[in-house]
Amino acid sequence: MAKEKLSIVKIGGNIIEDDASLSAFLKLFANLKGKKILVHGGGKRATSMASKLGIESKMVNGRRITDAETLEVITMVYGGLVNKNIVAQLQALQVDAIGLTGADINSISSEKRPVKEVDFGFVGDVKKVAHKSIDKLIQADFTPVFCAITHDGNGQLLNTNADTITSQVAVGMSELYETSIYYCFELNGVLKDINDKNSVIKHIDSKLYSELLEQGIIADGMLPKLENCFDALNHGVKTINMGNTAMLTQENDNFTRITL
């Protein structure tokens, strides 16, 4: 018997920062047919809130160092301000959303990232997704909205990369559903030429992925993103889509679809 479809959509920084963009995105998300989960970050909002409070944001290779003070800000911003605003706006669009961290219903447990060259502080690497618990919410017709916070099972919250949460939740849920991921960001998709925003590569499979790596077309920030994608596809996720929010509409096909 064919599995029911489940869409897992991730939105990041610039969409969350801008009220009009967020509102337009949430309308698209509300209109997305079938069962769905939303995952959001909020790093830029957290950085600006931290500086208002006189807390310096420290970054290493684009990743945030999360000390105890920063974790407090992240918990307030991701788990409170951003998450509850999104949930309230979805309710206004007749989507019965429920806002969650990984600690809620023990949905996503992590372990603190081990110290190698850098001590990232209170940062979690996902260990386990409680797919059956999350499914209870979905079966009750709730739409889970996860922020980028998990927990270690011993009372400690951990800042966790939202892209990773998205792929791990999709992998966990693929035991029960045919899962598709939608990574919404500023670009139209994975580009052949970084300076030409219309040079979207519409379909990448394992073979083309290897070729693009060899040619150096996939580099920098796209490398970890695509590594993550193929890892998820190898663990049960059906398709991954990358592009701007317009890919959630039926009419738009100008985005990147990634399959094995």
- pLDDT given at position 235: 97
The burial class, CB within 10 Å (0-12 / 13-18 / 19+), for 34 is exposed
Give the Cα separation of 91 and 77 in Å (integer): 20
pLDDT at 218: 87
d(C-alpha 101, C-alpha 159), whole Å: 10
Q: Are strands 239-243 and 178-184 parallel, antiparallel or unpaired?
A: parallel
Residue pair 173/135 in contact (Cβ under 8 Å)? The answer is yes
β partners of residue 111: 125
Virtual torsion, Cα 177, 152, 67, 184, nearest 10 deg: 0
Q: What is the pTM of this model?
A: 0.95
Distance of CA 70 to the CA centre of its chain: 20
Q: Among residues 137, 144, 133, 142, which one has the least CA distance to residue 166?
A: 144
Residue spans of the chain under pLDDT 70: none
Per-residue model confidence (pLDDT) at position 219:
81
